[in-house]
């Protein structure tokens, strides 16, 4: 038997290795159930990974939302919760952290991102108006539609091509945006909805040059620009890495400049901001803030807690400070990239370039024999779970829902299965296990059949839909 010389990952990739800028103080045991038990669990869950019990999951890559590990400082902050109904000191700490790191004037806490999306949509959209954005996100678009808006995708075409290597696939196509303004008139555009990074495109970033140009175009027409800041810190990493003139600027500094081109932002703090629950909404305009501050008491809670406990706001304020540290972001995205590079090396089709929060498997090329109407990405998520108990998420035809007018499926160009990496939770060895499982499913791909949807909820169907094998 021959023995290969062991090499570190750094050696294998011809560079020095990196390591996480933290050590582990507390662990949570993992459990893997048998293949027969997984078969049973999957049938019970209607082939939908959202409906699995987490006890039946081995490595959970469903999402990076609320699944990150808090630091010892954040846990210590939980003990400093001021649970006053009004004026909690933790709110003022949170307000200060958002102002300092994102630069907005007015801050409202919300229970999570969609709470903030709901409020901004209700206040900033008049029924019948258009909301251009750099690719849809499920909850964002739904809240815009529920407020009477029409979402229009103005992202560059490259974003819809998983093989295109454009370094900023989240960029807005200025011609598309300009044409929309021309067609409907500036008064009919509620605001531009800009997400950095773009989740559904594969965690792809927006360049600073692009946000500046979008800002200029908006300013010329008197249109507001709002950010989805959920993963803006990760976006800043790509600007630092790829955009000329930013290599020596800190992530914190880049985030601040990016936000300075906008009128406000909504945030799911469960991602970048390193908490298990929470969100915020921030705007600069005094009158708009007045309206939002009034509306928040109807849906979330008083404007100094917005659905969060004092302790949650404290953990969030500390999480914001930790989230913009260069070392943290580099190792977080480094881990995602490590998994992506392994899969690329093995010829497995994924969205390129690898994005910030996840590796997205390209289910169209993975299962070319399964037509889109038979849910190839949902099938791939099911197969991965069967192989190894790894949980991933469909981001294709099921997620895209139906066209409000025709009632037919929306058929997105991207049919993806997302392996989402929580922050500070899994090790490099876990990534190896994940990569080997994806490879095993890829090796046996020819014999896999698709799925049929047997139950379809009205809103955000992918969360609770049920499927069976064809
Ligand atoms: C996720 F399958 N994302 O990626 P909330 N904006 C952006 C998000 O990524 C986001 C929200 C707003 C989730 C959770 C989730 O179709 C789905 O705090 C860019 O989740 O309310 C959430 O923030 C909303 C998973 C949401 C989904 C919707 O896993």
Averaged pLDDT, 266-281: 98
Q: For 186-212, what is the mean pLDDT? A: 98
pLDDT tens track for 145-196: 999 999 999 999 999 999 999 999 999 999 999 999 999 999 999 999 999 9
Question: Is the pLDDT assigned to residue 354 strictly greater than 70?
Answer: yes
Distance CA 428, CA 275 (A): 22
Q: How far is CA 381 from the centre of its chain?
A: 18
What's the 139 CA to ligand 1 centre distance in angstroms?
A: 7
Average pLDDT over residues 345-356: 97
Q: Looking at residues 392-419, what average pLDDT do you find?
A: 96
End-to-end CA distance of the chain: 44
Most ligand 1 atoms within 8 A of CB, residue of 66, 138, 268 to mutate: 268
Does the structure show a pLDDT above 90 at 5?
A: no
Active-site position among 141, 311, 332, 395: 395
User: For residue 125, what are the contacts with CB-CB under 8 A and spacing of at least 6?
Assistant: 131, 144, 147, 148, 149, 190, 191
Residue-wise pLDDT for 303-316, tens only, equals 999 999 999 999 99
What is the percent of the chain with per-residue pLDDT over 90, rounded to a whole number?
95
Question: 85 an active-site residue?
Answer: yes
What separation in Å is there between the alpha carbon of 201 and the centre of ligand 1? 13
Flag whether pLDDT at 329 surpasses 60: yes
pLDDT bucket at 2, cuts 50 / 70 / 90: low
Residues 275-296, mean pLDDT to the nearest whole number: 98
- Give yes or no for residue 392 CB within 6 A of ligand 1: no
User: Given pLDDT bands bounded at 50, 70 and 90, which one contains residue 3?
Assistant: low
Helical ranges in 147-250 per DSSP H:
174-184, 208-221, 232-242
pLDDT for residue 436 is more than 90: yes
Q: Taking each helix axis as running N to C, give the angle between helix 35-44 and helix 376-388, from 0 to 180 degrees, rounded to the nearest 10.
A: 150
Task: Tell whether ligand 1 has an atom less than 6 A from the beta carbon of residue 144.
Answer: no
Determine whether 366 is an active site residue: no
d(CA 449, CA 375): 10
Distance CA(66)–CA(269), nearest Å, equals 8
Looking at residue 398, what is its pLDDT? 98
The predicted pLDDT at position 405 comes to 87
Average pLDDT over residues 1-23: 80
> For residue 63, how far is its CA from the centre of ligand 1 (angstroms)?
9
| Segment 221-262, tens digit of pLDDT | 999 999 999 999 999 999 999 999 999 999 999 999 999 999
Judged against a pLDDT cut of 60, whether residue 71 lies above it is answered with: yes
pLDDT score of 466: 98
138 counts as catalytic:
yes
Q: Average pLDDT, stretch 413-428?
A: 97
pLDDT number for residue 7: 82
Distance CA 368, CA 362 (A): 10
C-beta 307 within 6 A of ligand 1: no
Residue 284: band (very low, low, confident or very high) from pLDDT cuts 50, 70, 90: very high
Helix (H/G/I), strand (E/B), else coil: 272: coil
Region 436-462: mean pLDDT is 96
pLDDT band at 350 (very low <50, low <70, confident <90, very high): very high
pLDDT at 77: 98
pLDDT per residue as tens digits for the range 116-126: 999 999 999 99
* Residue 375 among the catalytic residues: no
The answer to whether the CB of 228 is under 6 A from ligand 1 is yes
């Amino acid at each position: 038997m021959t023995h290969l010389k062991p090499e570190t990952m750094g050696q294998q990739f011809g560079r020095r290795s990196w390591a996480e800028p933290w050590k582990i103080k507390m662990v949570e045991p993992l459990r893997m159930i048998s293949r027969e038990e997984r078969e049973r669990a999957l049938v019970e869950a209607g082939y939908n990974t959202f409906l699995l019990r987490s006890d039946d999951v081995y490595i959970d890559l469903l999402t990076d939302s609320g699944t990150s590990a808090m630091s010892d400082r954040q846990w210590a902050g939980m003990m400093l919760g001021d649970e006053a109904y009004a004026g909690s000191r933790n709110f003022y700490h949170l307000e200060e952290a958002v102002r300092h790191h994102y630069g907005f004037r007015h801050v409202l806490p919300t229970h999570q991102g969609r709470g903030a999306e709901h409020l901004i949509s209700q206040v900033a959209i008049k029924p019948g108006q258009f909301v251009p954005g750099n690719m849809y996100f499920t909850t964002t678009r739904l809240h815009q539609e529920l407020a009477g808006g029409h979402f229009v995708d103005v992202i560059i075409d490259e974003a819809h091509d998983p093989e295109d290597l454009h370094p900023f696939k989240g960029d807005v196509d200025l011609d598309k945006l300009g044409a929309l303004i021309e067609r409907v008139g500036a008064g009919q555009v509620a605001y531009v909805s800009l997400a950095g990074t773009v989740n559904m495109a594969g965690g792809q970033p927006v360049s600073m040059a692009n946000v500046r140009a979008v800002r200029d175009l908006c300013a010329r027409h008197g249109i507001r620009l709002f950010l989805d800041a959920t993963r803006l810190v990760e976006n800043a990493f790509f600007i630092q890495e790829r955009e000329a003139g930013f290599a020596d600027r800190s992530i914190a500094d880049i985030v601040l400049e990016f936000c300075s081109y906008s009128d406000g932002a909504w945030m799911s703090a469960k991602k970048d901001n390193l908490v298990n629950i929470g969100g915020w909404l921030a705007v600069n305009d005094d009158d708009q803030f007045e309206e939002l501050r009034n509306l928040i008491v109807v849906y979330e809670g008083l404007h100094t807690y917005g659905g969060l406990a004092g302790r949650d706001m404290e953990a969030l304020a500390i999480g914001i400070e930790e989230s913009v540290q260069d070392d943290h972001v580099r190792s977080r995205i480094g881990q995602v990239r490590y998994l992506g590079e392994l899969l690329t090396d093995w010829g497995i089709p994924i969205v390129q370039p690898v994005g910030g929060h996840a590796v997205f498997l390209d289910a169209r090329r993975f299962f070319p024999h399964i037509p889109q109407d038979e849910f190839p990405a949902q099938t791939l998520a099911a197969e991965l779970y069967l192989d190894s108990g790894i949980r991933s998420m469909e981001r294709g035809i099921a997620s895209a829902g139906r066209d409000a007018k025709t009632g037919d499926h929306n058929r997105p160009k991207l049919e993806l299965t997302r392996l989402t990496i929580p922050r500070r939770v899994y090790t490099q060895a876990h990534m190896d296990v994940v990569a080997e499982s994806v490879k095993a499913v890829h090796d046996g791909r020819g014999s896999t059949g698709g799925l049929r949807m047997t139950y379809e909820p009205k809103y955000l169907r992918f969360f609770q839909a049920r499927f069976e094998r064809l």
